[in-house]
Amino acid sequence: MTTRRVRARPGEGPLLREEILAAAEALLIESGTEDALTLRAVARRAGVTTPSVYLHFADKEALLEAVCLRVWDQLDSDMNAAAARARDPFRALGMAGIAYARFALSHPVQYRVLMMRSPATTAALACHRRMVESVTACVEAGALRGDPEKLALSLWAAVHGCVSLLIAQPGFPWPDDLDAFIEETVAMAGFGAALSSRIPRRTPWTTPVLTERLDALAAGLPTR
Partner DNA sequence: ACATCAGGTTGACACTGTCATCCTGACGGC
Partner DNA sequence: GCCGTCAGGATGACAGTGTCAACCTGATGT
Quote the least distance from Cβ 93 to a second copy, whole Å: 10
Kindly state whether residue 22 participates in binding DNA, applying the rule CB under 7 A: no
Kindly state whether residue 9 participates in binding DNA, applying the rule CB under 7 A: yes
Q: Which of 4, 10, 12, 172 binds a second copy (CB under 8 A)?
A: 172
Quote the least distance from Cβ 6 to DNA, whole Å: 8
Q: Which of 8, 38, 116, 129 binds a second copy (CB under 8 A)?
A: 116
Kindly state whether residue 52 participates in binding DNA, applying the rule CB under 7 A: yes
Give dist(CA 132, CA 220) in Å, integer.
30
Give dist(CA 131, CA 134) in Å, integer.
5
Within 10 angstroms of residue 41's Cβ, the number of other Cβ atoms is: 15
107 contacts: CB under 8 Å, gap ≥ 6: 71
Q: Which of 4, 201, 202, 224 binds DNA (CB under 7 A)?
A: 4
190 contacts: CB under 8 Å, gap ≥ 6: 90, 93, 94, 97, 155
DSSP state of 6: P
Q: What does the binding site for DNA look like in residue numbers (CB under 7 A)?
A: 1, 4-5, 7-13, 15-16, 37-41, 48-52, 54-55, 59-61
